[in-house]
Amino acid sequence: MVKFIIMSGRREFCDFISSRVDSLKLMDSLDKLGGGDFLTYHVTDANSSTASLIGFIYSKIKYEYDDNVAILSDEFAFSNLSCIENAFLLCQLDGISSIKEKQFHNYISSAANKAVKKLNLMKSIVDDGGLGEMARLPIKNFSSDKLKDFIREAAIRYNSTVSDNDFQKMASDLKMMRKPKKRSEYRNKYYIDDKGRHFSLGDEIHSSYDTKGHDYLCDILAKYRFGCKIDSRKHFNVSAGDNDNSKLSTEFHHCHGDEPITIRDRSHVNMFSNDFIS
């Protein structure tokens, strides 16, 4: 199911959507994604901070039910939502303050249908084997200009002028970074970053990311990528070098905050998509 959260400084726009939820749920484009739900948030000076916006979103997302999440926001709140642009499909809605009330239905229907189209595109990447592994790489700790370019374009997919075909080509080109170690007994494939660190998404589930002492973002970024739900239980095995005996000695970024984590002479570390290291 798709969870749409519409955030706007125009109260009558929010009220209209709230009164038309049942009809919006009937959009044909939602069938492929298992239906949809629509929530609104009237943005004011008092509740437009990043903490207020993220707190509301976090309280409304139900991981067990919401397979896809799209945040549709006018300019009043959009600039305070950048911290979740890699987790959810973030859509900037223009001109809400000037449209007439009789245009509300067509406006939100068109915006929601466009969001569904982009979610289907992102889902085709996230659900793909090799591409899906690339799409959920830990963003802070996988050092790659190519990945950063892809992430930047994915974050603005709704509003981007780059065609969907060109975007898909960007994703396919990144798959070429996935290779086996040259001197290994195993044929596992790894995404290799610019520092020579090897990231492979493990099939095993034997650890979990910590939630105590962490903020909403740590949890959100472990569960969603580009508007699509990912398996939050899975982690990457991160190792060094191109053989099985190489030791990992490096610094990683913490999942939140700026304090680095120093790793010395380890065979590997477990790292989740939100950059948490266990």
Tokens 């509300």 belong to: 104
Q: Write the CATH number of the domain with boundaries 2-119.
A: 3.40.50.2300
- pLDDT tens-place string over residues 151-203: 999 999 999 999 999 999 999 999 888 988 887 777 789 999 999 999 999 88
For residues 85 and 17, the answer to whether their CB atoms sit within 8 Å is no
> Encoding tokens for residue 30?
């939602």
Q: Which alpha helices (DSSP H) does the chain contain, by range?
A: 11-19, 21-24, 50-60, 75-78, 104-126, 129-135, 145-155, 164-174, 216-223
For residues 55 and 74, the answer to whether their CB atoms sit within 8 Å is no
CB within 8 Å of 226: residues ≥ 6 apart: 86, 87, 88, 89, 122, 125, 126, 135, 154, 155, 157
- pLDDT tens-place string over residues 222-240: 999 999 999 999 999 999 9
Q: What is the mean pLDDT of residues 56-78?
A: 96
CB-hemisphere CA count at 13 Å for 202?
Answer: 18
Checking if the pLDDT of 206 tops 80, the result is no
Residue ranges per domain, the chain? 2-119, 131-271
Given this model, what pLDDT does residue 248 score?
Answer: 94
CB-hemisphere CA count at 13 Å for 108?
Answer: 32
pTM: 0.93
Write down the mean pLDDT value for the chain. Answer: 92
Checking if the pLDDT of 212 tops 70, the result is no
DSSP 120-154: HHHHHHHTSHHHHHHHTS-TTTS--HHHHHHHHHH
For residues 219 and 83, the answer to whether their CB atoms sit within 8 Å is no
* Widest distance between CA atoms in the chain: 67
Q: Computed over its alpha carbons, how large is the radius of gyration of the chain?
A: 20
